[in-house]
Amino acid sequence: MGNRLHPNQIKRIADELYSFRAEKISYLMGIEGEKIVGIILNWKDSDQLKIVVQNDWNKYNRLKPTKTMQHWKSETVEKLNEYIKTIGVDKETKDRLEAFQNQVNNYFEEKQPNEVTLPEISKKLSIPEKISLMQELGIIENLRAKYPELKPADFARLLHYLIDEREFSIKPVITSLINNGSVDKNYPKKSTRIDSILSILVRKSK
């Protein structure tokens, strides 16, 4: 990817990494009714560098809420490596990219202990597993308390909106759960995958 970009484009990318958006500057400086295109922060100032990296993570998290901080770090570092290797990029731009890259690693290491890192699921959860997880998280109980008149068929249709599975596949599972048919073959029992998710959430909440 890097070799397809012109060095001037890499320089602009470096500028964007260290800049605040106009509306944020207006807010911080209390300016009203003026257009400010942006300001380039001092990339050699560690405190400012930490701020822009934090902003980069916050922006990534808003745009990709299902991705983890590990994804952000890996994707960002990989892109920066490509930019740094681009032929013709001047030394200062490379230094700025490397400084940003180092701060990404530092910020990740600093925040990682507080990050809830759920396990990667190679195969999507089955319908009983999905409903079991919703039950353990209190979602099913809350829905039943809020809408006690819902019949199993209507409950299945409601869950169809949430988990994007077919109603007729959901119905026997949710019916068994509502009727407390724990010995029924359709009852949504906890699997090892559900246990692993729940154990991480419990551990992180302590």
Separation CA 46–CA 112 (nearest Å): 19
Sign, Cα dihedral of 110, 103, 2, 11: positive
Tokens of 134: 């919703």
Separation CA 203–CA 206 (nearest Å): 6
Taking every pair of Cα atoms in the chain, the longest distance, rounded to a whole number of angstroms, is 69
Which residues in the chain come in under a pLDDT of 50? 1-3, 31, 34-37
Does the global pTM surpass 0.85? no
Q: Mind listing the pLDDT tens digit for each residue in 3-54?
A: 478 888 888 888 888 876 655 555 555 545 544 445 667 878 888 888 888 8
The helix (H) or strand (E) run that includes residue 57 is: helix 46-63
**pLDDT score, position 115:** 55
Return phi, psi of residue 49, to 5°.
Answer: -60, -40
**pLDDT score, position 1:** 42
**pLDDT score, position 31:** 47
**pLDDT score, position 119:** 64
Separation CA 143–CA 139 (nearest Å): 6
The helix (H) or strand (E) run that includes residue 3 is: none
Q: Which of 50, 79, 100 is nearest to 92 (CA)?
A: 100
